[in-house]
A = this chain, B = another copy of it.
Amino acid sequence: MKKTVAVIMYEGFQTQDAMGPIEVLGDLVDLVEIRCVSLKGGLLKTYQGVPVMTEPMDQVPNPDIVVIPGGRATFEVMNDPEFIGKVRSYVESAEYCLTVCTGSLIVAAAGLLDGRPATTNKSVYEMVTPNFPKVEWKRKARWVKSGKFYTSSGVTAGIDMAFDFVKDIFGEEAAQASSYEMEYQIMSDPDNDPFFDCPQLQL
Interface residues of A in 1-35 (CB under 8 A from B): 14-16, 19-20, 22-23, 25-27, 29, 33-35
Kindly report how many copies of this chain are found in the complex they form together: 2
Which residue of chain B has the shortest Cβ distance to A183 in the bound complex? B154
Complex contact A156–B180 (CB within 8 A)? no
| Contact (A180, B157) CB under 8 Å given A26-B47, A26-B48, A47-B26 | no
Q: Which of A82-90, A104-112, A193-201 contacts B (4 or more CB under 8 A)?
A: A193-201
Q: Which of A49-57, A130-138, A167-175 contacts B (4 or more CB under 8 A)?
A: A49-57
Specify which of B22, B51, B155 is in contact with A48 (CB 8 Å cutoff). Answer: B22
Complex contact A123–B155 (CB within 8 A)? no
Which residue of chain B has the shortest Cβ distance to A27 in the bound complex? B48
Is A75 an interface position by the 8 A CB rule?
no
Complex contact B48–A53 (CB within 8 A)? no
CA distance A201 to B33 in the complex (A): 22
B-contact 0/1 string along A159-202, CB 8 Å cutoff: 10000000000000000000011111100000000110011010
Complex contact A26–B15 (CB within 8 A)? yes
Complex contact B194–A181 (CB within 8 A)? no
CA distance A74 to B26 in the complex (A): 18
A64 to chain B, nearest CB (A): 15
Which residue of chain B has the shortest Cβ distance to A152 in the bound complex? B183
Footprint of B on A, CB under 8 Å? 14-16, 19-20, 22-23, 25-27, 29, 33-36, 43, 46-54, 121-123, 153-157, 159, 180-185, 194-195, 198-199, 201
Top-6 shortest CB links A-B: A26-B48, A154-B183, A19-B19, A16-B23, A51-B53, A34-B49
